[in-house]
Amino acid sequence: MHDYSYKPAPYFHGQGPVFLGLELEIKTRSSSLQACAEIAADHLGDLGYLKEDGSIGYNAGFEIVTHPMSYEWAIDEFPWKMLRELRIRGAYVDDNVGIHVHVSRKGFDSAAHVYRWMKFFYRNESHAVRLARRRSDDWASFTPETRAGIAKFAKGERFGYGRYQAINVYPEETFEVRIFASSLHHQQVQAALAFIAASVEYTRTLTSGDVARRRGWEWTAFVTWVRAHPIYLPLLAEMEALACAS
């Protein structure tokens, strides 16, 4: 298991331009830590690695970190059965651990695309929080200052109001979405990846006409779009399970 600062050169899986990196924090009893770490490492292979994390606590769990993946590759190739095996061995999650999803900055067409994505995200805070299954002002805050600074962040400003924002803009190559509660259930983890991938694609071609005449900023318009794109079925299923599919 690596320390928190470990960051190897990325190895990309799938076809871009949008790549996602998953950080999944889990907890274990001290007696099962080694066994759970071995299960995760065996399943991950060269797809990812394990890290210690101070927010989890010493000898209390670890963070599963993947190399960049396209959404489609992740759904098909990520070792999803690993999550069930970890549950069986005693791994668990609580309110103090989360899922972070990195999305490649190069996956956006322009600064305007980044602006549309971040604006959609922050305008739909209540729905995003419900989908994330938590609100965490300590670790993933939706601050008014960050929302007001979207234009400068879209243009490349990376030093805003700390990294513990809903969207952390500090990383040089990615945006880090930090809102999600952790999970060892594959639909919930897949939905987190799908939400980021779908929101990037939804805002890629969003026009002023879509906003003015078809309420493009609104969650209902996004849900309608998701329903028309079956590739995001895990997201739709989780929306329906959490009563935020309308």
What pLDDT was estimated at residue 208? 86
| C-alpha dihedral, 201 to 207 to 213 to 216, nearest 10° | 30
Q: Please write the tens of the pLDDT for every residue from 71-92.
A: 999 999 999 999 999 999 999 9
Backbone angle region of 182, left / alpha / beta, with phi > 0 → left and psi within -120 to 50 → alpha: beta
Q: What is the mean pLDDT of residues 139-157?
A: 92
Q: What is the mean pLDDT of residues 162-190?
A: 96
- In the chain, domain spans: 20-184
Q: Please write the tens of the pLDDT for every residue from 20-65.
A: 999 999 999 989 999 999 999 999 999 999 998 777 877 789 999 9
Average pLDDT, the chain: 94
What pLDDT was estimated at residue 201? 98
Q: Retrieve residue 68's tokens.
A: 């960049």
Above 80 in pLDDT, residue 217?
Answer: yes
Secondary structure E strands in 11-81: 20-27, 48-51, 61-66
Beta bridge partners of residue 141, listed in sequence order: 165
Beta bridge partners of residue 99, listed in sequence order: 24, 180
Least confident of 50-59, 209-218, 233-242: 50-59
pTM to 2 decimals? 0.96
What pLDDT was estimated at residue 221? 95
Measure Cα distances from 164 to 62, 104, 128, 172 in Å.
19, 18, 16, 16
Above 90 in pLDDT, residue 100?
Answer: yes
What pLDDT was estimated at residue 112? 96
